[in-house]
Amino acid sequence: MSRAVERNVVRKDGAAKAAGTARYVGDLALPGMLHARTVRSSIPCGDITRLRLGFDTSGFTVVDAGDIPGRNVVPLITDDQPCLAVGRVNHAAEPVLLLAHEDRERLLAATVDIEYRPREPVFDAERSDRVFKRVAIAKGDPDEGFRHADVVIEGEYRTGHQEHLYIEPNGMLAVPENGGVTVTGSLQCPYYVHRALTVLLGLPADKVRVVQAETGGGFGGKEEYPSMIAGHACLLALKSGRPVKLVYDRAEDMLATTKRHPSVVRHRTGVTRGGRLTAMAIDVLMDGGAYCTLSPVVLSRGCLHATGPYRCDHVRIDGRVVMTNTPPNGAFRGFGAPQTQFAVEVQMERIAEALGMDPARLREINALRPGDTTATGQVLGDDAAAREVLRSAVARSGYRRKRREYRGTNRGIGLSLFFHGAGFTGSGEVKLQSRASLELTPAGVRVLVASTEIGQGQRTAHAQIVADALGIPYERVEVAAADTARVPDSGPTVASRTTMVVGGLLKECAAEMRKALGGMTPAAYLRAHGPLVVTKQYEPPPGLAWDDDTYRGSAYGSYGWACDVIEVERDPVTEEIRPVKVTSAHEVGKAIFPLGARGQIEGGTAQGLGYALTEEVVMRGGAMANAQLTNYIVPTTLDTPPMDVVLLEKPYAHGPYGAKGLGEMPFDGVAPAVVNAIRSLGIDLREVPATPERVMAAARIRDSRLRPGDHERASARQAGFGIRDSSITLRQRRRTAARKPWTGRR
């Protein structure tokens, strides 16, 4: 019998999806079902002074905050977000009122008039004084590091919002039953929704049931938001006593649900003439939107990846995420790491420009190696693979040759080196206490986990792991629906943890079950002994220590490593930048489902190309002004280039069959590689999206390379330093009175 792991098995849900028989929440209907609609704030900040129902309410169910049986909150990290606004609204499109009716036409025709007393909104994150969270990471002594630098480079880098644009919008179907409620819907984390509903509805855990329907994409956009929409559907269902279906159309989904956090990241980097990093001072600012949601964790991960995959003895990272009166931002593939790695990779490119050095060589010199220490003091294991992916992508793409050939043409080529810590940060996995179960069936076994298939291949990878660990064919492994009435809490389907952490638990379950079977077939065992269910709970790998207060220790059990080389072509008439080719080397520990791994890399890359070039959320008055697909530009087949993906494997000792996390990493490095390719054309761009309008307005890169004699010229001046570009400083290598350290804090 052939192994399943590492084989391109037929994915578990492929046939149903291709046949059109897979059931998404929009496909479900129940007798007596009501349709639902959300009435939302039209102003970004202010008080509701009057609310009037301008329609005949017969047959309608109307719900406001006063109908909430439990607490009016969507619990997450800080319970600051109401499920329905009362009095005060803090962002445009904030939910205020819920309506349901069995006739969708009457529902659409109902008008609700809301009057407000507006307050002054805060839209500029740089001016907001409400901080959700601060993070500080310190290693060594940056002052000392800057003293040893020959060159100091400063830069500021910006990223904007991004909309997930899962092709299936958010939706829930809530049914009042069994003295409680069952809700089925499009979601990534059934137990997040479960917990939120017990709090909102004031119901005990066994009276709330959450079931994942087939879900048409998530990317993090269905990590926390489903708790809100499920709450709405359930409130209507409980008040009306009828099933309620609440499915957003695209415009509402774009307007009201979470987005990627915009960021401003400032770097000050000291480097020797030979290209060694001596000091990194990094300031990270993220815009959290109106409520806290997951912003502290996004900031945390962003800061933990802010140095990029590089070694540096002296590091200072200061981060803060702040409130603005815009719809709350939330989880999105990469979760903070794309923003900070965008900044560091463009900063590295500018350092290479200043030194007149090959950008790949600069990465090679500074790339983290096994045994090196990260900014938090984590010592990297043998599975650290930064140089391997760099060399692989550089060689395979012909990077150096093409850089030479493309000089002076409208073709550019750029690279990025990046990494991604898999699983929850620090002690997060321990706190989750994830559990997984296997249940013996007459044909084989059934996987019982709260992990959700959202397209990434979860069902398939879990089945492959279990099949091999149990020694049975892949086809005999069934994966149950993620239904809180049936499966244990395996933690959320986020943070690239589903294969590595939950798959690892399943492998342990299977090993124990295999021992119990003792060579009997499942059917024989069941006849002889009756049912068999094996459950395992997460135990951290040995030696992982993390301190949440000092931000020191091992932030993640393992890291994946990757390198993108992207070629672009500039249109001199329109300044459009077209991606022409992507070469991407990813080290993932072990690709359980190679086709799936490739698919995640290709898909993440396309999403990254959108982030880099065309996906702009236009905010006006704190609301998304381009909330239509015709105006929010995602890549089509004509916008994506051929992609050459290389998978490398340096097995992680504590991942199932060596697997590390992989779902998010492909996104992290695309934007900087694109911008670095644009920079190779001589265009000084430091933000995304690199729309043609921005490319047209960008300055040319001034020749900032050091020339012989620069050092001497600098040392001749007393007052300042020899400066060619205002953001590049030559520093004489001798003891001087220490310049006040730049922290970037206001």
Partner 1 sequence: MRTAISPLALLQPRSLRDALRMLRDEGPLTPLAGCTDLYVGLNAGALADRRFLNIWGLDALRGIELRGDVLRIGALATYSEIVRSADVRRLLPMLAAASREIGAVQIQNRGTIGGNIANGSPAGDTLPVLAAADALVELRGLDWTRTVPFTGFYTGYRASIRRPDELITAVNVPRVEGAQWFRKVGARSAQSISKVVMAGVRAGRPRVALGSVAPTVVRARRTEDALASGAPIAEAQRILQEEISPIDDIRSTVAYRREVASRLLAQFWAATR
Partner 2 sequence: MTAAYRPIVFTLNGRRVSLRVHPLKRLLDVLREDCGLTGTKEGCGEGECGACTVLVDGRAVNACLVPAAQAAGAKVVTIEGLKGRHPLQRAFAEHGGAQCGICTPGMILAAAALGPRPTMDEVRTGLAGNVCRCTGYEGVYRAIQKQEAGSRKTEGRRQKPEATGRKPGARRRAPNSRIPNPEPRIPMLRRRRT
Interface residue list for partner 2 (CB under 8 A):
2, 4, 7-24, 26-31, 164-169, 214-219, 249-250, 454-457, 473-475, 595-596, 598-599, 602-607, 628-630, 634, 636-638, 640, 642-643
What would the x/- binding string for partner 1 be over residues 233 to 252, using CB under 8 A?
A: ----------------x-xx
- Binding at 696: pick from partner 2, partner 1, none (beta carbon under 5-8 Å per type): partner 1
Cα–Cα distance between 262 and 160 in angstroms, integer?
A: 4
Cα–Cα distance between 652 and 423 in angstroms, integer?
A: 13
Determine the distance from the C-alpha atom of residue 388 to the mean position of all C-alpha atoms in its chain, rounded to a whole number: 25
When binding is defined by CB under 8 A, the residue of 625, 653, 723, 738 that contacts partner 1 is 625
* 167 touching partner 1, by CB under 8 A: no
**Least spacing, CB of residue 564 vs partner 1, in Å:** 21
**Least spacing, CB of residue 361 vs partner 1, in Å:** 35
Q: Which is nearer to partner 1, 170 or 182 (CB)?
A: 170
Query: What is each CA distance from 199 to 82, 192, 236, 553, in whole angstroms?
Result: 12, 11, 16, 34
Cα–Cα distance between 617 and 626 in angstroms, integer?
A: 7
Cα–Cα distance between 588 and 394 in angstroms, integer?
A: 18
When binding is defined by CB under 8 A, the residue of 2, 58, 111, 636 that contacts partner 1 is 636
What would the x/- binding string for partner 1 be over residues 2 to 21, using CB under 8 A?
A: --------------------
Residues 244, 19, 595: CA angle, nearest 5 degrees? 105
Side-chain half-sphere CA neighbours of 463 within 13 A: 24
* 628 touching partner 1, by CB under 8 A: yes
Helix (H, G, I), strand (E, B) or coil at 31: coil
Amino acid at 66: G
- Binding at 307: pick from partner 2, partner 1, none (beta carbon under 5-8 Å per type): none
Tell me the two tokens of residue 121. 């909104």
Tell me the two tokens of residue 403. 């850089």
Whether 488 and 640 have beta carbons less than 8 Å apart is answered as: no
* 719 touching partner 1, by CB under 8 A: no
Long-range contact list for 17-23, CB < 8 A, 24+ apart?
17/214, 22/214, 23/213, 23/214
- Binding at 86: pick from partner 2, partner 1, none (beta carbon under 5-8 Å per type): none
**Least spacing, CB of residue 21 vs partner 2, in Å:** 5
Helix (H, G, I), strand (E, B) or coil at 349: helix
When binding is defined by CB under 8 A, the residue of 8, 409, 410, 574 that contacts partner 1 is 574
Of 726-745, binders to partner 1 (CB under 8 A) are none
- Binding at 697: pick from partner 2, partner 1, none (beta carbon under 5-8 Å per type): partner 1
Burial of 476 (0-12, 13-18, 19+ CB in 10 A): middle
Q: Which stretch binds partner 1 (CB under 8 A): 41-49, 103-111, 655-663, 676-684?
A: 103-111
- Binding at 27: pick from partner 1, partner 2, none (beta carbon under 5-8 Å per type): partner 2
- Binding at 9: pick from partner 2, partner 1, none (beta carbon under 5-8 Å per type): partner 2
Cα–Cα distance between 416 and 582 in angstroms, integer?
A: 11
- Binding at 598: pick from partner 2, partner 1, none (beta carbon under 5-8 Å per type): partner 2
- Binding at 8: pick from partner 1, partner 2, none (beta carbon under 5-8 Å per type): partner 2
Determine the distance from the C-alpha atom of residue 381 to the mean position of all C-alpha atoms in its chain, rounded to a whole number: 25
Q: Which is nearer to partner 1, 605 or 691 (CB)?
A: 691
Cα–Cα distance between 409 and 574 in angstroms, integer?
A: 16
Cα–Cα distance between 234 and 215 in angstroms, integer?
A: 19
Closest CA relative to residue 614, chosen from 598, 597, 635, 629: 635
- Binding at 433: pick from partner 1, partner 2, none (beta carbon under 5-8 Å per type): none
Cα–Cα distance between 473 and 466 in angstroms, integer?
A: 9
* 573 touching partner 1, by CB under 8 A: yes
Q: Which is nearer to partner 1, 448 or 688 (CB)?
A: 688
**Kind of pairing between the strands at 699-700 and 683-684:** antiparallel
Q: Taking the CB of residue 173, how many other CB atoms lie within 10 A of it? A: 27
When binding is defined by CB under 8 A, the residue of 639, 644, 684, 725 that contacts partner 1 is 639
Cα–Cα distance between 172 and 386 in angstroms, integer?
A: 42
Q: Which is nearer to partner 2, 30 or 520 (CB)?
A: 30
* 120 touching partner 1, by CB under 8 A: no
Where in 68-221 does DSSP place strands (E)? 88-89, 95-101, 112-118, 131-139, 151-159, 171-177, 180-185, 208-212
- Binding at 252: pick from partner 1, partner 2, none (beta carbon under 5-8 Å per type): partner 1
Q: Which is nearer to partner 1, 54 or 709 (CB)?
A: 54
**Least spacing, CB of residue 475 vs partner 2, in Å:** 5
Cα–Cα distance between 128 and 322 in angstroms, integer?
A: 6
**Least spacing, CB of residue 93 vs partner 1, in Å:** 12
**Least spacing, CB of residue 496 vs partner 1, in Å:** 29
Kindly list the residues in this chain that would bind partner 1 in the complex (CB under 8 A).
104-106, 108-109, 249, 251-252, 572-576, 614, 618, 625-626, 628, 630-631, 633, 635-639, 691-693, 696-697
